[in-house]
Amino acid sequence: MHTVPNFDRIGEENAFAVLARANQLASGGMEVINLGIGQPDFPTPPHIVEAAIKALRDGQHGYTAATGMPELREAVCADLHRRFAAEVNPDNVIIVPGGKVTMFAAILMFGEPGAEILYPDPGFPIYRSMIEYTGATPVPVPIREDKGFGISAEETLGLITDKTRLLILNSPANPCGGVTPKSEIDALVAGLANHPDVAIMSDEIYDQLLYDGETHVTLLDYPEIRDRLILLNGWSKTYAMTGWRMGYSIWPDALYDKVRKLAVNAWSCVNTPAQFGGLAALTGRQDAVADMRAAFDTRRKVVHEMLNALPGVSCILPKGAFYAFPNITETGWEAKPLASALLENTGVATIGGPDFGILGEGYIRISYANSEDNIRRAITRIGDFLAG
């Protein structure tokens, strides 16, 4: 069979392959602790679950508008207004089946042979995979430990050429847990004035997971780029709803109809009861969000302290999301062999840094979306392995 070459260039997320291997080892009797997968270990808050069940019972079984239920799009705007005083028109909001779908749509819209797309490295692997799928040239924006794993505005602007179509940003970030400071975002946006044809996709899916009293800086705060800003967000991480496949994005007027038509062609609409769950999440009480954040914060400190006590390992304190990205160069191991040896020998699943980009060598990703007890036992096992 002849398939189009684009499909031979498509990549994947190794976190899912690690999960499969971890499950295989577990079914063979090994006690596996998974610090590989990036999903909250909490159940979805009950009032959200109840709202979706009620929707099913009430007969909400049909399609909604392709762009999502109007009341849900309004709730998204109200939530953004409540949290950031952002003014967003519901006519610019689309509900999509998960956070990933926005990057898929945005990269499809701007990627073609000859075009360049800037994306963070280390970064969420699907950015690069989708860029390669379209035939565009992926241009990595370095995310460096000595910059606290945030981007440098100067370095990013220096990578823009007359072929650049799209700049992908992600803060708080996967896999490093970095947060780009406001000063860098200010400088970046100022510099983007010289590149009016470059669109920006800001992946803010971890925007409620910042610590130490830091507040999130949303790109929505910059009116000068709103006409070319695509904002990616969703319910997966904030409300522990990864399996519901609920995301949303904000698109400028010039692009909105294009993404609406893609929705009509590809997914028609998002699962209707899930949209009711999403509505309850945004309009209901937010205490579960704060509770989960507090739990992640405690674990973050445990992970940071324990990792730094391991031989050859150093780790900066993550500022956001639920990932730590320890530097393992002094252990003498390369990252992917170490991640694999840890899984096979100690039952601890982590992800090798190179799975997030070339600059990930020398690091492994630890997801602390797991219980404190499991985290303590896992890092103790890693320490015994490294010492042994």
Binding site residues, ligand PLP, CB under 6 A? 38, 98-100, 124, 170, 174, 203, 205, 234, 236, 242, 247
Q: Is the torsion defined by CA of 28, 33, 36, 38 positive or negative?
A: positive
Q: Are strands 164-170 and 247-250 parallel, antiparallel or unpaired?
A: unpaired
Q: How far is the CB of 30 from ligand PLP (least distance, A)?
A: 25
* Residue among 234 and 273 whose Cβ is closer to ligand PLP: 234
* Residue among 45 and 386 whose Cβ is closer to ligand PLP: 45
Q: How far is the CB of 206 from ligand PLP (least distance, A)?
A: 7
What does the block give as tokens for 120? 């963070």
For residues 161 and 149, what is the distance between their CA atoms, to the nearest angstrom? 24
> Taking Cα atoms as reference points, which of 235, 177, 218 lies closest to residue 369?
177
Q: How far is the CB of 330 from ligand PLP (least distance, A)?
A: 27
* Residue among 142 and 312 whose Cβ is closer to ligand PLP: 142
Q: How far is the CB of 80 from ligand PLP (least distance, A)?
A: 17
* Residue among 242 and 327 whose Cβ is closer to ligand PLP: 242
* Residue among 262 and 386 whose Cβ is closer to ligand PLP: 262
* Residue among 79 and 203 whose Cβ is closer to ligand PLP: 203
CA atoms within 13 A on the CB side of 90: 13
Determine the length of the chain. Answer: 388
Angle at 324 between CA 19 and CA 349, to 5 degrees: 25
Q: How far is the CB of 205 from ligand PLP (least distance, A)?
A: 4
What does the block give as tokens for 66? 């392709």
Q: How far is the CB of 73 from ligand PLP (least distance, A)?
A: 17
Which residues, 6 or more positions from 2, have their beta carbon under 8 angstroms from its beta carbon?
Answer: none
* Residue among 100 and 228 whose Cβ is closer to ligand PLP: 100
79-83: long-range contacts, CB 8 A cutoff, minimum separation 24 = 79/282, 80/218, 80/220, 83/207, 83/216
Cis peptide before 175 (omega within 30 of 0): yes
Q: How far is the CB of 237 from ligand PLP (least distance, A)?
A: 7
Measured at CB, which residue is nearest to ligand PLP?
99
